[in-house]
Structure 1
Amino acid sequence: MRKNVLITGGTGFVGKHLTNLLVADGFSVSVLSRNKRTNTANVFYYTWDVEKQFIEEEAIRKADFVIHLAGANIGEKRWAKGRKAAILSSRERSAQLIYDSLLKWNKSIEAFVSASAVGIYGAMNGRAICNEGMQPANDFLGLTCQKWEAAASQFEKLGIRTVKIRTGLVIGKEDGFLKKIAPVFKLRLGSVLGSGKQYMPWIYVDDLCQIYLEAIKNPMMSGAYNAAITDNTTNESFSKILAKIYGYSIWLPNIPSFLIKIALGEMSKLILTGRRVSNEKLKQLGFQFQYENLETAIKTSLLL
């Protein structure tokens, strides 16, 4: 029988790619959704309601692994007080629901793998290369990721192998960051944001999904891992490559930081700050990234 992977956030951008990969690799997948959907041969949909702390029992009982992707999109809306609270609680409460359900139905799983983010190193600029042993930052991004990871760490109390995937900017077909900015660059209206010197740790969606697959299959994986390409990509170099792909050189001036701050408020830190991160811990496991060249990754994403 196929082993079953229960995915939260399975209907999102990464979740859809990951579901296809898991099925192709011989797993069956259970996806938690707020609305009932039609099952397919190896993908089963179950309902849950985090606010009401409800989850279909069968989804938990049949799971051999859990991959926890669900959580409020940190870059979707301005960080008003209520939005900050939603971002902080969304992944925590959903993880708690799974944890409580495992206890309630006396169910054990082989591994719990949770999404996190390189934002744990803080919304700041600097040339230091961040590794998993560094202390988390004490700002909103850092504290948010700490709470997400703390919610995952409680599964270790149950003797469950726990992995946290600290993800960079995800590039891929059909969705993600490029879907938002590519149309502007295609119109030859692309520009560098702020100083342009802020680093942009990125990863192609296929590589990210392979990391989740490795986390399921490799019993040696435990703890936190940076899921991003270790290079010197900045907003300026990213923007120039994207413009080059569309056949021109950037001609517009940089968009001033103060205008971005006015438009986005505190959330502008997502755009105006960035840290380099090391993926050496993953590579020491023998993991090989298929996309380490940004231009190739962007062209593949845009089907060019």
Structure 2
Amino acid sequence: MNVLITGGTGLVGTRLSAVLTEAGHHVAHLSRTLAPGSPYRTFQWDPAAGTIDPAAVPFAEAVVNLAGANVGEGKWTAARKQELLASRVDGLALLHRELTKPGHRVRTVVSASAIGLYGTTGDALVTEDTVPVGHDLLADLTQAWEQAATPLAALGLRVVVPRIGVVLSLAGGALPAMAGPVKLGFGAPLGSGQQWLSWIHINDLCRLLLAMLIDEAWQGAYNAVAPNPATNTAFTTALAEVLHRPLLLPRIPAFILQLALGEQSEMVLTGKRVSAAKVLAQGFTFEFAGLREALQALYPPALIPAPQPTQTLMAGAGSARS
């Protein structure tokens, strides 16, 4: 199968491209710039200008849309918020325009979304049928993202919308940022520590996206999360244990994070406890269903350096003060 990927050079797109290639599929990227030395054929587009290589869509039998600026990069100024929105909806509008034209073979579109759609849900276990609550930036952004994909189904295409949780990978995303302080002996839960983190190992995510592409039984929205979400405290504790590091502080108060991050602190101080039941009912089997096994696969003992003496001493001093 020929698969065209937007956002193919990002965290998920890079790994997915390799997984698809290993499975015998032909991958091409749709990108604003040409990457010299890329192993994948690359077509250019400019969603803001509404331009696209006319050969891009005719190449494909399926499209995976991962395009969207990283919400964790840059301050959330008014201009940045507009960029975050445009990077998601403009590309889908351009794809819709091209897919209305005759002469292509696309039958399936997998269009990424995120669990930010649900807003702040507290301890409630949310499913794909949960009505989004609140109107924070991430919820509004993700609702607009999904709404931009809706018209594709009216073209007779099979549209699958994975609502992706926190992706665990050493190549980028949230995990390296969370692991950094822990490795240095300064790890601590954030805020109350009771906010839920719904995660998925990147290998499982790419296997799930592959299943969505090749099996026509998949249609509509699915939570792309592992079956066992964890609180921030449980996640931080498990990460410290896997890395063989102590936790220095009971927790980092919310007001400090709010002062440091402003509006973006909502990304770490709020959580979502998201159900994977629909994905499991579809027959998907997770390789990494448990948090500890996922973290151990990413941080095998042989690759974890021993703590430095200064770290051990500082951690011990922190424990003595608690």
Q: Which TM-score applies when normalising by structure 2?
A: 0.89
C-alpha contact (below 8 Å) 1:118/1:168 kept by paired residues: yes
Map 1:92-241 to 2 at 5 A. 92-104=89-101, 106-122=103-119, 124-139=120-135, 140-241=137-238
Any idea what the Cα deviations from partners look like across 1:160-208, whole Å, max 9, x if unmatched? 0101000110002322212223222111111110010000000000110
- Whether contact under 8 Å (2:198, 2:230) holds in the other structure is yes
**1:17 maps to 2:25:** no
What corresponds to 2:250 in structure 1?
253
Q: Which residue of 2 aligns with 1:31?
A: 29
- CA shift at 1:105, angstroms? 5.2
Q: Within 1, Cα distance between the matches of 2:89 and 2:2?
A: 23
Q: Aligned equivalents of 2:46 and 2:242: distance in 1?
A: 43
Tell me which of 245, 263, 268 is aligned to 1:266. 263
- Paired with 2:165 and 2:118, the residues of 1 have a C-alpha distance of 11
For 2:29 and 2:37, the matched residues in 1 are separated by 10
Retained in 1: the 8 A contact 2:227–2:290? no
Structure with bigger gyration radius: 2
Gaps of 5+ in 2: 302-322
Unpaired segments ≥5 residues, structure 1? none
- State the number of aligned residues: 300
Q: Tell me how far 1:39 sits from its aligned partner.
A: 6.9
After TM superposition, the score normalised by the length of structure 1 is 0.94
**What SS is found at the alignment partner of 1:170?**
strand
Kept in 2, the 8 Å contact 1:38–1:45? The answer is no
Whether the 8 Å CA contact 1:230–1:278 is kept in 2: the answer is: yes
| Shift of residue 148, structure 1, vs aligned partner | 0.6
User: Does the C-alpha gap of structure 1 residues 138 and 75 become closer, same or farther in structure 2, counting only changes over 3 Å?
Assistant: same
Tell me the secondary structure at the aligned position of residue 3 of structure 2. Answer: strand
Contact 1:60 1:101 in 2 (8 A): yes
Q: Give the CA deviation at 1:88.
A: 1.7
Q: Percent identity?
A: 38
CA RMSD in angstroms comes to 1.6
One-letter amino acid of the counterpart of residue 256, structure 1: P
1:303 deviation in Å?
4.2
